[in-house]
Amino acid sequence: MIQRTLFSEEHNVFRNSVRHFIDKEIVPYHDQWEKDGQVSREIWLAAGEQGYLGCSVPEKYGGPGADFLYATVLLEEMAIHGVTGPGFHLHSEIVIPYIIRYGSEEQKQTWLPKMVSGECIGALAMTEPGAGSDLQNIKTTAVRDDNELVIHGQKAFITNGQMADLVIVACKTTPSEGARGISLVLVERGREGFKRGRNLEKIGWHAQDTSELFFDQVRLPIKNLLGDEGKGFIQLVENLPQERLIVAIRAIATIEAALKWTINYTNAREAFGKTLAEFQNTRFKLAEIKAEATVQRVFVDKCIELLLADQLTAEDAAIAKLRTTETMCQALDDCLQLFGGYGYMREYPIGRAWADNRFARIAGGSSEIMKEIIGRHITGRR
């Protein structure tokens, strides 16, 4: 086993704390949350009280000012435990960084302390019914009317959509200019004309609220622009490498967890007078997964180092997401097969992981988009 050298003793202490929190505050309630279609607000407040939200938020805005490794610990442990309901990663490592990087001082002072405490839940609304990976094709508009912006449009598949108190919405402020006409706008809960559609029923991630959002002539002050007008597309592109690395971190942790579950099961389960682990096919399958997981773990950890040094490229993030998610889906399928009929039962973690994690090949840009990014880079066609 290759020794991971990224984490200090402080990170390891934090990991033990996170494990205890998940075991005590999340795992016992997760089945009910899956039936409800969303988690409780209390778990957000509890996570905030423990310092698990917005690890990267500077101390002046109520955060711990910690490095990305603390977020990595939380991502990994959530994946290992198979708890998909709390959308902490989206809130803390995708939404909050936009406000830190592009927000005005007023926006930071207003929202970051509440997001760290769990009082304010964040969401990012990019995807639309007719625009997923192709962000330039969004139709939602934010048109100026004197000193206000008037938003009209629809978003789909929005994580934390039902519970969100603050949504970063990608809009066309100058529709005729394509990507250069996109801006990011902050929309608060309670704005007239801002409505949530149904909580979408998904194949997996049943405890995670995922929604349609509707904007019917929603009026906002100009100060709700996040960063400069017309810079939204650039802002989205700049933040995508971290978003894709987050998906990769969860994926490799899931592979490692699935391998552990399957090793334990095949060593205990008997067929034809011997354990499943004694069959060559079982050992070969587990060996293949172990080899892939080891190689990809090294690359993902390298990408984390690059992110910490502000050197992670779009190409490397795309490679990490592509390989880990494709491998994860194959590994989960192979592991489920070794569990036999029991693997298809949701009471077994392998069955839940198989259903929950198929989305990883789509989230943050599909595998096909990742190949396009990598292909353009290696052929010099930017």
Q: Which spans in the chain are helix H?
A: 9-21, 27-36, 41-49, 68-81, 88-90, 96-102, 105-117, 232-268, 280-308, 314-339, 349-356, 367-379
The one-letter amino acid code at 272 reads F
Write down the pLDDT at residue 177. 86
pTM, 2 dp: 0.95
For 357-373, what is the mean pLDDT? 94
Instruction: Tell me the angle at which helices 68-81 and 280-308 cross, rounded to the nearest 10 degrees.
Output: 160
Residue 381 has pLDDT above 90, yes or no: no
Active site residue 243: yes
Digit-coded pLDDT (tens) for 8-34: 999 999 999 999 999 999 999 999 999
For 197-208, what is the mean pLDDT? 94
HSE toward the beta carbon, residue 112, CA cutoff 13 A = 27
Residue 248 has pLDDT above 80, yes or no: yes
Digit-coded pLDDT (tens) for 74-107: 999 999 999 999 999 999 999 999 999 999 999 9
Banded model confidence at residue 1, pLDDT cuts 50, 70, 90: low
Write down the pLDDT at residue 241. 96
Which is catalytic among the residues 34, 229, 243, 292? 243
Digit-coded pLDDT (tens) for 143-167: 999 889 999 999 999 999 999 999 9
Write down the pLDDT at residue 175. 87
Can you say whether residue 72 is alpha, beta or left, with left for phi > 0 and alpha for psi between -120 and 50 degrees?
A: alpha
Digit-coded pLDDT (tens) for 230-243: 999 999 999 999 99
For 46-60, what is the mean pLDDT? 97
- Nearest-angstrom CA–CA distance, 279 and 246: 36
Domains of the chain: 9-120 (1.10.540.10), 123-230 (2.40.110.10), 234-379 (1.20.140.10)
Among 270, 271, 188, residue whose Cα is nearest residue 226: 188
Close Cβ partners of 95 (under 8 Å, ≥ 6 residues apart)? 115, 122, 123, 124, 166, 168
Q: Are 320 and 301 in contact (CB under 8 A)?
A: no
Write down the pLDDT at residue 169. 98
For 329-342, what is the mean pLDDT? 97
Banded model confidence at residue 291, pLDDT cuts 50, 70, 90: very high
Three-state DSSP class for 154? strand
For 53-58, what is the mean pLDDT? 96
- Nearest-angstrom CA–CA distance, 77 and 354: 17
